[in-house]
A and B are shown apart, each in its own frame.
Chain A
């Protein structure tokens, strides 16, 4: 377990920002000890100080007024917790190059589970050296520690000597450290200090029952976790993909063809792993690590489990086309990772007999279109068990539809029930119209829709569809009203599907007056 503490994250962020738009001589001139302050309770306290301010004797926790009195020359900037946490998340993403298991340890730390990953860099020391080199180049102050448990790594990074501690050394490591290193509630640590227990060593050998009785169960649980007696799970920031293949490059790559070639090669590696377990990929993510630390993520979905590298390459080719200029390679990418985010069992199937080939062709088309235009733009109608028209025939993204889209049941139902005709096109939402009816419950004589007046010459209806009164969320306010649908034709032959929401007989019970809507058009 590697704990990374970015101890001056807020000031580093501000200084990095300045570096990006101030030239060097100008920066020298404005350079003043920098502190960041925030409101804690009713006081404005320092939350972070940079190296220069640290040398002046300032430290986080000091009141801002006091710091200003001591050193009038310091520069104080209000904290921006949002920006800090965004930066921390960006760094966490960047750390994915070391291990897929990265967790944020707010507000300014990261936890990396590097078990089984360190050998890729040539050992833990080499990994830490690599990490250190990159963080220094990016201008971050940091401390790292590797230990057997999360608690011990945290304690060593924040309070002890940075380094690498093997399993079993936790006791020796923790004993001299202050109790705050155990990540206790502030109140618990203060209460312990009051009775003279200041270091972890003070409590390791104390009888457990009185400690629990007095300070709560949390204290001993944190101690056990730090010592490695109790397992503490790491909650990674991003779900861990079941299949991952990655490639580091000696020279950064930038061209699109190179990226696609790498995708095909990585997909080839994944294919073996997928075949061994009989799986296929439903959603694939390509992560490109830029040399300057930025990350590019591209995801592509497939309608059916996929293994073929050529097809995976084709999907990403479409994705890249859709981006075109957004895939800004900067000085190039130095690492690429292809992960199968969602995998599904992929039964072996024979190709070329019956209709399956046709379906496969169609699925490939759906995948191509979805990759380029976005999965939400490629849809397929599904029949749903509802009387409300907009729910009964809604469209869902084609990649998500299963084998049963409900139409078989719908055709059967339709054959039995002899349903009234349905419009060819349904408006996104019913549009209010001004309508005039001869009798309250009859069809309209004329109506105005989108500023055009339509004279009704024939009408068919009504077809009453009761609202979903039993459902809290039967849609918007319209969802719970009964609707009387009419199919009307105007003078020029245009055919519309109108409805009146609400019933006149409900007026007596204090309901609002019924209103007319236009819902669709017939061909």
Chain B
């Protein structure tokens, strides 16, 4: 009887912001989910490093894609990271299924401020995911351990975003190296793109060496490209506590708001310059 009451009490006291029993966050790609043992573990720290300085936004996009859709998110960045790579831009977050009104950005002048703020944010029950962006240099393993513990306690997702592949050993649950990959026009998007462009998209898509339009009025311009380009990521899992490592090409699907395997598994050559463009009816 008492045990039953205790259990119901525990259910009532469950953090409101996070569904603690929800288990890991599946990415929706069988190969990766298998490697991760069902999906990305909540309540753990994951390191996401950019393949190079320039790829930091791709890594940030990957991190945002991992966060549960519509989650309340805190993005903590060092001042230098904001100055170099720019600040998170509200209207752009929507592309990754997040609501800008649920984002809180924090700037830390020093590394210790950033780590402290991450820990504070992880301890807050209203927060579902915390992204900490650091630039260079090693991170104190004790601090990483503290963050992991704080995440485990609250069940929030802790993501450490780094500007370059780190060389130090990691105590995080997983470590990813993410870079941008050349995108391909999304498959079978001929019809859907045409529909969308009729919906009022002011721009025009064209590939290199396509005939340059003189006057850019939508009425007399056919859609010249092969369709919408979706963000592609070259993702490498270099540390995984629960299973094997791997490397994948992923693509963020705007319509499904999740990752899907890229239509081309490996980077391919740029499309032939003289390929005649399909006219969209």
Contact = CB atoms under 8 A, between A and B. Distances in A.
B31 to A, nearest CB: 21
Contacts of A494: 54-55, 57-58, 180
Given A461-B203, A491-B270, A422 B104 contact: no
B86 A521 contact: yes
B91 A361 contact: no
Interface string A220-242: 00000000000000000000000
Interface string A468-490: 00000000000000000001010
Nearest to A322: B113
Interface stretch (B138-146, B167-175, B225-233): B225-233
B90 interface: yes
B246 interface: no
Interface in A289-304: none
Interface string B193-231: 000100111111111110011101000000001000101
B257 to A, nearest CB: 13
Given A358-B16, A395-B87, A463-B203, A381 B95 contact: no
Interface stretch (A62-70, A75-83, A337-345, A372-380): A372-380
Taking chain A's interface residues, is the majority helix, strand, or loop, or is none over half, making it mixed? mixed
Given A393-B100, A425-B57, A462-B216, A361 B86 contact: no
B117 interface: yes
A439 B181 CA distance: 27
B135 to A, nearest CB: 14
A491 B267 CA distance: 10
Most B C-beta atoms less than 10 A away, residue of A379, A398, A445: A379
B39 to A, nearest CB: 21
A495 to B, nearest CB: 7
B176 interface: no
B93 interface: yes
A461 B204 contact: yes
Nearest to A486: B203
B264 to A, nearest CB: 12
Interface stretch (B1-9, B20-28, B124-132, B236-244): B124-132
Interface in B108-135: 108-109, 113, 116-117, 120-121, 124-127
Most B C-beta atoms less than 10 A away, residue of A355, A361, A381, A452: A381
B92 interface: yes
B91 to A, nearest CB: 4
Interface residues of A, number: 68
B40 interface: no
Given A362-B127, A422-B89, A493-B181, A523 B212 contact: no
Contact of A464 (B89, B201, B202): B202
A381 B88 contact: yes
A233 B196 CA distance: 67
A425 to B, nearest CB: 4
Contacts of A521: 57, 85-86
A506 interface: no
A520 B106 contact: no
B238 to A, nearest CB: 19
B208 A380 contact: no
A383 B91 contact: yes
Contacts of A355: 16
Contacts of B182: 457, 489, 491-493
Nearest to B106: A378
A268 interface: no
B72 interface: yes
B94 A414 contact: yes
Given A373-B108, A379-B105, A425 B88 contact: yes
A273 to B, nearest CB: 30
Given A372-B113, A457-B182, 20 more contacts: A365-B124, A369-B117, A381-B101, A383-B91, A395-B105, A405-B101, A407-B90, A414-B94, A420-B202, A422-B91, A424-B93, A424-B95, A426-B92, A428-B87, A441-B214, A457-B208, A458-B205, A493-B179, A493-B267, A523-B62
8 A-B pairs closest in CB distance:
A523-B61, A381-B90, A425-B86, A521-B57, A493-B180, A393-B90, A361-B126, A426-B89
Interface of A: 355, 357-359, 361-362, 364-366, 368-369, 372-373, 377-383, 389, 392-393, 395, 398, 405, 407, 410, 414, 417-428, 438-439, 441-443, 445, 452, 456-464, 487, 489, 491-495, 520-523
30 contacts: A373-B113, A378-B105, A378-B107, A380-B103, A380-B104, A395-B90, A407-B100, A414-B91, A418-B199, A418-B201, A420-B203, A423-B92, A424-B89, A425-B85, A425-B88, A426-B92, A428-B86, A438-B212, A456-B208, A457-B182, A461-B203, A489-B182, A493-B179, A493-B232, A493-B234, A494-B54, A495-B231, A520-B86, A521-B85, A522-B61
